[in-house]
Structure 1
Amino acid sequence: MIRPGFTGSTLDRADCLRHDPAALAEAAADPGARLLKLDGFDPDVDARGRLGWTSLGDAPDDARLVLLGLDQGSPRFAAYVEGMRAPPARSSWLNRALDELRPDEAATYAAARSVLDWHARHRFCANCGHATDMIRAGWARHCPGCGAEHFPRTDPVVIMIAEHSGRALVGRGPHWPPGRYSALAGFVEPGESIEEAVAREIAEEAGVRVTAVRYVASQPWPFPSQLMIACVAQAGDDTLTLDANELQDAKWVDRAGVRAALAGDPDAPFLCPPPYAIAHTLLSAWVKA
């Protein structure tokens, strides 16, 4: 079974509590309720790869509580403070923490980070510009100006491998770490299917025409909030014409080379994405196909 990073949280999201103010208040008063420990947007992670939790009494006085869900019946919350902003780039600490987090814990963190960042970026109504209020236990915002309700957004992104003659196409962005290559990726545009987005992005970035797009897996990506849709497509030829605005380089790599990269072999033809990235999952699935 394919298990991409940031999936597999054990929390029950408890949607029924979001619509019941009395039940939500009871959950917040539960002695077993816990608050996710965050330093800004970075998680507290112990030596076992577990998230840190504390009592709700440690929430800042001006914080609004977001219900993450129930862990074996015990409520779990995150704190949103007006004015908090996620940093533009992931810190070196966060990258290390993501490597250490257990998969189920990473999934819980991803949900918390995404919804907190959504609140930070959507304080005003997109319809009339009025300041909005948090409702539904943190899973929506209400505009008192026009009555509109707004819900956390997830942007669909295709991430894909083009294959030709037993080789996979990988590319690297202009500012990536030395040697790092990954699957190509791009946002799905309005009025476009997943298959059309895959074909368009590969053609735009690498000049390769593809057909027979097949779905592999998906992943919530919390930086800030995308749904990564992993696919493999068949290339008609292997001639590359790169868009220099998108890619610094791209190349075809056979299964032995991809397998070496996944294993961290220093002689591999490229440095693989980290295991929590769905590009790693996609490359792993491709070498086994």
Structure 2
Amino acid sequence: MRHAETVTFGGSALDRADTLRADQRALADAMSDPRSSVLALWRGRPLFAGPALDRLVRLPVGHAALDGAGEPILIGREDGCAVFAADISHWMPETAEEPSEDAEQRHPALPGDHAFRELRSSMTALGPRDAELAATARAILGWHRSHRFCARCGAESAAARGGWVRVCASCGGQHFPRTDPVVIMLVVSGPRVLLGRSPHWPGGMYSLLAGYMEPGECMEAAVRREVLEEAGVRVGAVRYLASQPWPFPASLMLGCLAEAESEAITLDPAELEDALWVGRTELLDVFAGTHPLISPPRAGAIAGFLLRNWLADRLD
């Protein structure tokens, strides 16, 4: 697919500095280098700046807002300078309640136009590099929060290799960041595409069918299984189109084109509230916001990316 890496969070050629991770002296030097920078996240929310909060902030190492943060995680290098991520979720704002998705949190040590904000709210405004940095930081810090204890013996583990491994001193176990593969399917039958709706989604929201891959399962088999389970539609040929890292919390969306061999829909009500075949003209109305039933796909998600490219005949 010609445009595969232009999807949100797609590759920006970030230098992930793998060799630096294992070099403790080099890591220490990077942490004391005034050219290095830190991405601060609060409860998984990156720090943004600007009137529209659409610019990812890089703080200098040692900034007051980072006081009390755990050991920074090395994200990569930009122009030869290290970029770290730090979790400052220990900071308690005046409102201790769990924030809504569109809430903004401002730290007293930061300028007034700086705020922590849910990544979904700003992801489409970010350039490829900032999007990749933010997605990586959110995913890796989230993994550290949820994997503090060794899965082998239950003892508390510690970060190593710049934050890309957790090592258990009790049993010697090593644990690596988790990414969950998810297939998302552009199921087509001639000039129509299959859309589905989860029972828990907002009104009008439809999307492509998707599901987690299972152990021992190849991508093509997962596509066929998920479509049959959720919608009762049999799928034949399957081919890969594009992928998207999705840091909510840590998935890799594998976009596939799937050719339907049947059209009758039999819903699994535990998975789908509705599913329907939509033609090209209808889909144009969806993207224009004039369809009477279906809302436009969520901006930034791979579902809309695949549907737009299907409409434009740019899947090859």
Asked if TM exceeds 0.5, the reply is yes
Q: In 2, Cα distance between the equivalents of 1:270 and 1:29? A: 52
Which residue of the other structure, out of 97, 102, 110, is the alignment partner of 1:92?
102
Q: In 2, Cα distance between the equivalents of 1:34 and 1:137? A: 15
- Decide whether aligned partners of structure 1 residues 164 and 219 sit closer, same or farther in structure 2, where only a CA change above 3 A counts: same
Deviations 1:90-123 (A, max 9, x none): 7125232224323331221000000000000111
* SS class of match (1:92): coil
* SS class of match (2:31): helix
Which residue of the other structure, out of 27, 31, 34, is the alignment partner of 1:28?
31
1:56 and 2:61 aligned: yes
* SS class of match (1:147): coil
Contact 1:5 1:275 in 2 (8 A): no
Moved more, 89-98 or 217-226: 89-98
For residue 266 of structure 1, what is the aligned residue in structure 2?
A: 290
Task: Give the count of matched residue pairs.
Answer: 286
Moved over 4 A (4+): 81-84, 87-90
Deviations 1:70-94 (A, max 9, x none): 111121111146879xx99971252
**What 5-or-longer segments of structure 2 have no aligned partner?**
92-96, 104-117
Q: In 1, Cα distance between the equivalents of 2:37 and 2:167? A: 26
Q: In 2, Cα distance between the equivalents of 1:268 and 1:216? A: 30
- Decide whether aligned partners of structure 1 residues 148 and 186 sit closer, same or farther in structure 2, where only a CA change above 3 A counts: same
* SS class of match (1:160): strand
Q: In 2, Cα distance between the equivalents of 1:130 and 1:27? A: 30
Deviations 1:127-165 (A, max 9, x none): 111110100001110011111111101111000021113
* SS class of match (1:45): strand
* SS class of match (1:68): strand
Q: In 2, Cα distance between the equivalents of 1:88 and 1:154? A: 26
Residue identity matched to 2:268:
D
1:69 and 2:76 aligned: yes
Q: Percent identity?
A: 44
* SS class of match (1:156): strand
Contact 2:40 2:87 in 1 (8 A): no
Q: In 1, Cα distance between the equivalents of 2:280 and 2:18? A: 44
For residue 285 of structure 1, what is the aligned residue in structure 2?
A: 309
For residue 18 of structure 2, what is the aligned residue in structure 1?
A: 15
For residue 181 of structure 2, what is the aligned residue in structure 1?
A: 156
For residue 94 of structure 2, what is the aligned residue in structure 1?
A: none
Displacement of 1:276: 1.2
Displacement of 1:10: 5.0
1:46 and 2:56 aligned: no
Contact 1:163 1:234 in 2 (8 A): yes
Q: In 2, Cα distance between the equivalents of 1:51 and 1:223? A: 18
Residue identity matched to 1:46:
A
Contact 1:64 1:81 in 2 (8 A): no
Residue identity matched to 2:301:
A
* SS class of match (1:252): strand
**What 5-or-longer segments of structure 1 have no aligned partner?**
none
For residue 144 of structure 1, what is the aligned residue in structure 2?
A: 169
Q: TM-score, normalised by structure 1?
A: 0.92
Q: TM-score, normalised by structure 2?
A: 0.85
